[in-house]
Structure 1
Amino acid sequence: MKNNKILTMIIIVLVAIILIGGIAVVLLTQFNKPAGSLEPSIDDIVKASVEVPEITTNLADNRVVRFSLTIQTSSKDAAEELTKRTFQVKNIVIQELSEMEQKDLEGKQGKQVFQKSLKTRINELMQEGEVQEIYFTSFITS
């Protein structure tokens, strides 16, 4: 009789452990799934982006660079703020380029360094959100 009670208790404990383990696995897999799509749609990106008109300026080595930018921000409000700050963005671009030579902008890496520098400087201005990406829509040096 005593052995039956012990066996019953062991079975109950094992079933409880298996159930708790199963529930834990289900909860962990459900909570680790991304909630919907975390990536913004292209329509959201366009709404949160600002086109900067073509800029032509001299480099430090007296070469000329001409390019256009599209700046992706974190929200529509940030894009509205950045639109108002376009004159400041152009000023930052001209200041940055005035210290660069054509060789600094060559290749993918040169352009990425320039984009990162612009992103950092522009984010220092922003009060409503931030710059997430900077895209060159045209780029010519001569």
Structure 2
Amino acid sequence: MKNKFLTIMLILLVTITLVGVIALVVILKFSDGQETKEPSIEEVIEASVDIPEITTNLLSNDFIRISFKVQTDSKKAKEELEKRDFQVNNIIIEELSEMKADELQGKKGKELIEGKVKDKVNSLMQEGMVEKVYITSMMIQ
């Protein structure tokens, strides 16, 4: 009697464990596909704003001519960013005026200014967020 009861309990325990493991694998498999979906290029362009060329002086008395494309997370964020264009230009000029020409050289320099612009603009945004800032042209004289 005890052996029969023990066998039934063991079979039930193994069955429940297998069902749980299968359920976990299925849930993880389906959730991964939905979270990692990158936006298409059309969606990126629809949610992006062009910042026209800005010419300003740097801390090192050099001049820079630079333009950006700012990618937001939604169309509402894009509309808000378009209205805040004067604030974005101000942020860019302020950040560049505190930098020297040699700080902007190379990949790290470009990533530095992109990151600063992104962080400062995100602090202004109310309807969404800036996802990425791209430098579309840059010339230091």
Please indicate, yes or no, whether the TM-score normalized by the shorter chain is above 0.5.
yes
Unaligned runs of 5+ in 1: none
Equivalent pairs, count? 138
Deviation at 1:7, TM superposition (A): 2.5
Q: Distance in 2 between matches of 1:8 and 1:43?
A: 65
Deviation at 1:39, TM superposition (A): 2.3
Counterpart for residue 21 of structure 1: 17
Q: Distance in 2 between matches of 1:110 and 1:50?
A: 22
Aligned CA RMSD, in angstroms, stands at 1.4
Aligned residue type for 2:19: I
Structure 1 stretches of at least 4 aligned residues deviating more than 3 Å after TM superposition: none
Structure 1 residue 128 corresponds to structure 2 residue 127: yes
Q: Distance in 1 between matches of 2:40 and 2:24?
A: 27
Q: Give CA deviations for 1:89-138 in whole Å, capped at 9, x if unaligned.
A: 11110111111110110111111111111111111110011111101111
Counterpart for residue 63 of structure 1: 62
Structure 1 residue 30 corresponds to structure 2 residue 29: no
Q: Distance in 1 between matches of 2:75 and 2:26?
A: 31
Deviation at 1:30, TM superposition (A): 2.2
Q: Distance in 1 between matches of 2:38 and 2:10?
A: 43
Structure 1 residue 76 corresponds to structure 2 residue 75: yes
Unaligned runs of 5+ in 2: none
Deviation at 1:70, TM superposition (A): 0.7
SS of 2:94's partner is: helix
- TM-score with structure 2 setting the length: 0.90
- TM-score with structure 1 setting the length: 0.89
Which has the greater radius of gyration? 1
SS of 1:65's partner is: strand
